[in-house]
Structure 1
């Protein structure tokens, strides 16, 4: 069953659609259709959602029904809308296109695309020998059914040791292995959040976390992060105390996308406020292994937990490789057992071979992660230098770790810039993807996970289309490419 957007809701999403660039050179219906395409392009209007009836939207926008009828017809002609008489009209993408990581619709064949929508590194060279070693270990597990809902003991022991080395004593019984960090978050939400439960998140935050919360129909409140300073301690603590959310999802270690690092004292105060408010903290440590420039990392947030209020999730996608779908949950032993019971309704366990590969990579963590940090620092500096040269009007805070820059642009053009950059072979994740209700149009996430030469090339292309953006007419929407 598809969802439906009401006329008033779509009107709010459209905002000042009649004031878009090139508006005076296009009729009302064309401007309205272009605005709807824009909402689809940056992900603010989902695919497969039923749009309001023509009369309803006309009343909400205070325009003629004829204009809405013509706009819907234009959207059907461009492949962004499908209609069935007597049933309604649903959003879609043109044939042969897909939703990319940035939320933009693009042809399937991207032969010269610099993808800055994904904040993840290519695999390290150590992955191949680790895989060979894992296959030699595999026969020890072949005599059983292969189902390990909490993970194989070797991997849980290795993960527990990594927490102990950071000053947080942890037993293997407190660890549950998952199919990546996103899977870990989904399982935690299934266990700890009832449908329509209240959740506090940072703004901006990780888009896929917002998607997981949307799947639970969560009522989301946000705490805004400052570009330079990160969390406002008083406001964050007041938000927890006053709204008393069921959950708070936080990324204290090199926050995605801003790169901010939460100070020690705030971590302790947040845990205390959560306990007083009856709020469980879900702490995402995806980037904790990636400090740059020798930045000291504070102790884990769970260090200050005395009441099992902190559930920590992490994984190997960022410091190692996204194709190795290994994540984990650290919680109390009873919580891990409840998570394992909840997991049976989703999947039985993580692949044994992948877990054995993870064991060997973690055994060589010091060497692998040190090389990753050196690589990321070099690529970050190359990206910063290119931005300073070609886009000096943009404001960027240098991150002390992680894999992303959060740039404040010289105007609310993030989604338009992402669409324009797509035309010159650069895929971007516009600011609204990291927030709610179409906000953050002045911001853009720029990961530095690609080779330095690609990052510099991407900035040159972005700068060229940014210069042309103010003088451009209405957006041109590509037709599917035919390659024979």
Structure 2
């Protein structure tokens, strides 16, 4: 189902689906207003969208028209919507100022972000780049493929990890999200079938849906042991027969699980055998828990060499080095790289040259950077697990083996309500449905372990308070930044 909304009139039925389990024990109109604001914050209802009229929405929700009218009044007061004569109630959206005010008032504990803190060696790396690479300032700076030496270094790293690669198979992008969107708009057309894991990274789903493609789902964590159900996965893939599939095979976001090697091979055979292209998002594939270890790229599991040409592998330095280093890459067959470059010129003119120089130097010590990340993330994961066990013993966490987050089963269909109440306790927490289609995953929330240990401890403490309060989120603002 396509849940990426362009500006339009939203039906009462559709808004009811998006709202999910919004009711609590508090004031109904405030809970409804905060729940709608949550959808706006998360991007599931975009600015310019006209909300349903009061009467049909009250009938769809099973509440009084007075409740809906009061909720809309609250949304107008907080600046989320504006009423226009002849146009109805139209979404304005959250502003950066309002986001900053929320963080300032509430202390800014952010569980919406699953991105590690900047790598400690960045200042030295920048100084070294200034000293060693002044030549780059003689270049034009317009570069839609990537610096040749960076493309070569990335190809060498893939080769060393077990996937022979040439520089012609690499394009440097403006991070992983840019790569996902570029691939989607190049390979998909309106009405095409696409496939994504569920739960999954929300902005990947949005990139697929934004093309007008139909989005089918491949369950993750549906096995008897909370892992992968291989038979079901392959059956769904074969039945869907998508044109493009998006997968996070290793250290999956949000579960932290990794697909078994045999399933990787079988899934490639099924999808590529049908003529599909596969995006393998490996943004967090090299972020292990426990001991540093090498992860074999997904494309290396193709049993037939020509099936490798159907796989587009995405990487990024956003999670490993710094979110502000907007350097990602695509590894694909040379003819696909050519298609992607032609499509790219419509939207941007290349990746920043200086950022590419920093990325090249970071690659020279990438293994040591990853080892440092493994130590940090392992300690923080251990802390998160212990704090959740103490504060929320009835919750069950996924058995993550890598990445930056876990998937928590909270034992009740209360995720959206918890997200709203958490805001009243100064905690930004995206609800479970943000990671799937509307109405799904109300029993789950994503918990990151990428922040500092002090932030994790305080965040779980506030989460415990929100859960136990059972709650009323009276007057809390729910504006926050996007899920990453």
- Equivalent in the alignment of 2:15: 10
Deviation at 1:421, TM superposition (A): 2.1
After superposition, give the CA deviation of every residue in 1:378-401 in whole Å (9 maximum; x if it has no partner): 111111111111111000123111
5 Å-filtered alignment, 1:72-111, equals 72-93=72-93, 98=98, 107=102, 109=104
Q: Residue 107 of structure 1: SS of its match in structure 2?
A: helix
Q: Is the 8 A contact 2:245 2:279 kept in 1?
A: yes
Summarize the Cα distance change of 1:383–1:61 in structure 2 as closer, same or farther, 3 Å threshold.
closer
5 Å-filtered alignment, 1:13-162, equals 13-14=18-19, 20-22=23-25, 33=33, 36-37=36-37, 39-40=39-40, 44-57=44-57, 60=60, 68-69=68-69, 71-93=71-93, 98=98, 107=102, 109=104, 112-162=107-157
- Equivalent in the alignment of 2:184: 189
Q: Is the 8 A contact 2:41 2:94 kept in 1?
A: no
Deviation at 1:78, TM superposition (A): 4.3
Deviation at 1:263, TM superposition (A): 1.3
Q: Is the 8 A contact 1:264 1:298 kept in 2?
A: no
5 Å-filtered alignment, 1:8-407, equals 8-14=13-19, 20-22=23-25, 33=33, 36-37=36-37, 39-40=39-40, 44-57=44-57, 60=60, 68-69=68-69, 71-93=71-93, 98=98, 107=102, 109=104, 112-226=107-221, 228-294=225-291, 299-303=296-300, 304=302, 305-307=305-307, 308-407=309-408
Distance 2:191 2:409 in 1: 33
After superposition, give the CA deviation of every residue in 1:416-449 in whole Å (9 maximum; x if it has no partner): 2222222223222221111111311111111111
Distance 2:34 2:450 in 1: 33
Summarize the Cα distance change of 1:299–1:336 in structure 2 as closer, same or farther, 3 Å threshold.
same
Deviation at 1:63, TM superposition (A): 6.7
Distance 1:42 1:208 in 2: 10
After superposition, give the CA deviation of every residue in 1:57-112 in whole Å (9 maximum; x if it has no partner): 35545777666555534443443321111122112357775469xxxxx6263572
Distance 1:50 1:422 in 2: 25
2:443 corresponds to 1:448: no
Q: Is the 8 A contact 1:252 1:261 kept in 2?
A: yes
After the TM superposition, which of the residue ranges 338-347 and 165-174 deviates more from structure 2? 338-347
Deviation at 1:260, TM superposition (A): 0.6
Distance 1:290 1:479 in 2: 31
After the TM superposition, which of the residue ranges 348-357 and 31-40 deviates more from structure 2? 31-40
Distance 2:94 2:145 in 1: 42
Distance 1:30 1:438 in 2: 20
Summarize the Cα distance change of 1:47–1:385 in structure 2 as closer, same or farther, 3 Å threshold.
same
- Equivalent in the alignment of 1:103: none
Q: TM-score, normalised by structure 2?
A: 0.89
Q: Is the 8 A contact 2:155 2:166 kept in 1?
A: yes
Deviation at 1:223, TM superposition (A): 1.3
- Equivalent in the alignment of 2:440: 439
Unaligned runs of 5+ in 2: 1-5, 480-484
Deviation at 1:43, TM superposition (A): 5.2
Larger radius of gyration between Structure 1 and Structure 2: 1
Distance 1:375 1:293 in 2: 10
Distance 2:478 2:298 in 1: 49
Q: Residue 172 of structure 2: SS of its match in structure 1?
A: strand
Q: TM-score, normalised by structure 1?
A: 0.89
Distance 1:123 1:479 in 2: 26
After the TM superposition, which of the residue ranges 374-383 and 232-241 deviates more from structure 2? 232-241
- Equivalent in the alignment of 1:476: 475
Summarize the Cα distance change of 1:198–1:205 in structure 2 as closer, same or farther, 3 Å threshold.
same
Deviation at 1:284, TM superposition (A): 0.2
Deviation at 1:115, TM superposition (A): 1.3
Deviation at 1:310, TM superposition (A): 0.6
